[in-house]
Structure 1
Amino acid sequence: MPIGARSCNSAASPRPASVRHTRRSSMTWWTSNEPASRGSRRWARLIASAACIAAHQLPALGDDAALARRRSPVVEVFSSCHQAVVNISSKRLVEVRRGFSGLLDPFFEERFLLPRREIAEQQSVGSGFVVHPAGYIVTNAHVVVQTVERIIIFADQSRVLADAIAVDSDHDLAILKVRAARPLSHVRLGRSNDLMIGETAIAIGNPLGLQHTCTAGIISALNRKLTFQRGVTYDGLIQTDTSINPGNSGGPLLNVNGEVIGINTAIRGDAQNIGFAIPVDRLRQLLPTYLDVARLRQVEFGLHLAEDLDSNSASSGTVRISRVDGGSPAEKAGLRPGDEVAEVAGRPVRTFLDAFSALLDASGEDGISIGVRRGGAVVRQAVRWAPITKSSAARMMVDRFGIEVREMTDAELRRFDLDAPIGLVVTRVQRDSDAGRNGLSRGDFVTRIGKAQVRSLITLGQLLQGVAPGTEVAVGVLRIDDDGTIQQGDMYLRAK
């Protein structure tokens, strides 16, 4: 029967003068009928003795074994990864409207005075993480979009300016590059196709400017869809209860192996412990597009790489040639789709970032040695990239979309009373192409590839370098009818 309880049919009994234990116990109980003052002194001595015994039985604070027991997976991950997490301080120039500094009634100012338009600086902070020792950093696009300056702050408080290599607002991902005086600490990219709901998730970032804050939780759900302002929708997101706050954006979400499984991107402002991260597999898929050497160097190369992941480990992958453009320097050098890349410019290649970094650092005019594995041996081929020409750009447009284009002539600029070209003129469309089936006609203008304006063949060639077969691309089209009516819109075409 519980202490203090009694049976419903028993009579109350008087409380005993002293309390005795009623069952066998490994502890010793004492009874006392002494006066309160003497009993209090005895109890004080007993408590002090017990405290001394307990103190001797507990492990010492500096005991290595005790510290080892406290060293949880979260501690291990933070210890090994925090040096690779950075704080990103960005500066934007924004247009603001100012009245007369509150000298007049706000109602009057708003309705009867034309506010002055001024350019002001706006500071924002976010997080990022180094993915390659050569200085490549991943973050969110919304952390750096439309910024004029990006300062990277490392764990040792050193600061360096970063260049934006790629900013993709459609997927909220961005790649930055810093000039590193020495190889930087970096984190490994894991995989997100085998995540388990309930497994531990760890975030490191700079919430509210508090650098290198570590929080831990679990993966709450997978494949979440989230719609933001202006109708932007992201799907396939990881939901986590790991504490994510403003300033965490762009930081890594890690598993207990210290591998990046997601890029922290958003929180629900109307709830607690609901955060979202972009799965790392999406970053892996998009890296070849973001880090396209031909586009960044503005040359014709024709070599496209992709990374295959081993089924057992996210960190031990194989880099293969995914595509070789017809008539390109890569094809002329004898490289073939499916070749496994072993080295680039004498550097061993284990990841796509290894290959990209070596290609970007090499001098392509003198020839880049690319070693591929064939028949158990490494075969080295020298590839010399070439400047993009108008003819090579026009050929790429035909190869990918079945569209022949040319630049506008001076006569056409005068005819339409234009100071600058509005796009490229379509001269022929293959009937069996997506463009032909969608109604693109001779005389139409191609004005954009994706979100980038196209006014010259050289620009067209630079943009088409990163378009892989099977990719659906929004091509901006403008049509001027005989009566002068202008029609324009996007035509979604799948590259061949």
Structure 2
Amino acid sequence: MTVATYAPRHRLRPLLAAACLGAATIMASALPVQARGPDGIADVAEKVIDAVVNISTSQTVEAKGGSGEGRGAMPQLPPGSPFEDFFDDFFKNRRGPNGPRSGGDMQPHKTNSLGSGFIIDTSGIVVTNNHVIADADEINVILNDGTKIKAELVGVDKKTDLAVLKFKPSRQLTAVKFGDSDKLRLGEWVIAIGNPFSLGGTVTAGIVSARNRDISNGPYDNYIQTDAAINRGNSGGPLFNLEGDVIGVNTLIISPTGGSIGIGFAVPSKTVAGVVEQLQKFGELRRGWLGVRIQQVTDEIAESLNIKPARGALVAGVDDKGPAKPAGIEPGDVVVKFDGKDVKEPKDLSRVVADTAVGKEVDVVIIRKGEEQTKRVTLGRLEDTDKPQPASAKSTPEPEKLVTQKALGLDLANLSKDLRSRYKIKDSVKGVIITGVDNASDAAEKRLAAGDVIVEVAQEAVANAADIKKRVEQLKKDGKKSVLLLVSNADGELRFVALSVQ
């Protein structure tokens, strides 16, 4: 379970509890029955409890002692520090009375962790979180009656933090099915069951606090937020509706203490079901790929593109080898509908494309220069490309005399060989380079910087700095409030930026 800090160990205060008991009894009798939650909670818990399992993992960790990094958590203190002797004694005691073993290397040791999961098939298929079993050498499933069985990993999806396990059952199992998380309503009662703090089989209840919550944890954030008590060890456990269907997988909490403060997040069952199906079938995720880079359509950008109201996903770049290019999608297009589904913001497009089958032909509705167009696209497959590409080494010739123009709070210059070399700009990047930015300007606020290259102004290509200045002056005369720039970085990655011309 992801939290801000570890939960503190609390001590019971029986005197305080006794003093408050009478008042609590009076208050409870005055409250309506509904304040305790619906009566069906006990029936649901009894029905599904045997399908909820504990996940036990072990991992071998190699640790080193001695000097430098080998001292593990030993703080690096200046010689003569008053804390030096204290920490030396502390870490020596941890290593044993004879100091470090084997010339400074400590023996490898095993670490254990516990999480939760649930059975979706009586053949022994279990769903949990990826972070519960990540890097584990051994995984065991512990049933509600205490039976411990070794499990195998079927597959994981790091982007949604989900994993599927399988084990050979020794008896008849209870399995649960997925419900429809799209039908959840705010305020609807939900039930969480899991293994908080290794207590096992713990049932808590609460309501749906929010849906479609984006907490910037991953590219496909779409969490259910609940105030049902979720703590360390609940990770991977199910969130049920009152019919006993799984409508989410408990994954994250926000907490300054490590314990529940009523803000928990679950991956919705619609997402989980699709991921689990692919992991069972392929052992991996095969997501759809459109081959575009997208960004938010701000009010300023919407005004520049004649889009009212601001909506959709703005195409900032098109992959030369992607499906969007042969379909005729271009930078500056705004995607407002994909395969019949409305796209209100970039995250909507990312999710719906990822959930669409590889190779499927879909209609993509775009707005180009104020008019809607429909493009037919055959989706490709998304490949993980997280490795950074090293910049190629380039020689630095003698600097040329720099001639600049000023516009929009920017110092602008024609893109010469000297400037291309100085800022390591790829040969494929064409336009006018920014050599300076006024710190008090709108451009600085929009994070434009020296080395960025302006490729287009108002969706028209530019070749020299004087041309930009003329176009900005013309836009002012035409009464425009902002100008839309297509900006490239040194590697050729594009983005749109709207700047005020007033």
TM-score of the superposed pair, with normalisation by structure 2: 0.45
Structure with the bigger percentage of strand: 1
TM-score of the superposed pair, with normalisation by structure 1: 0.45
Flag the structure with larger Rg: 1
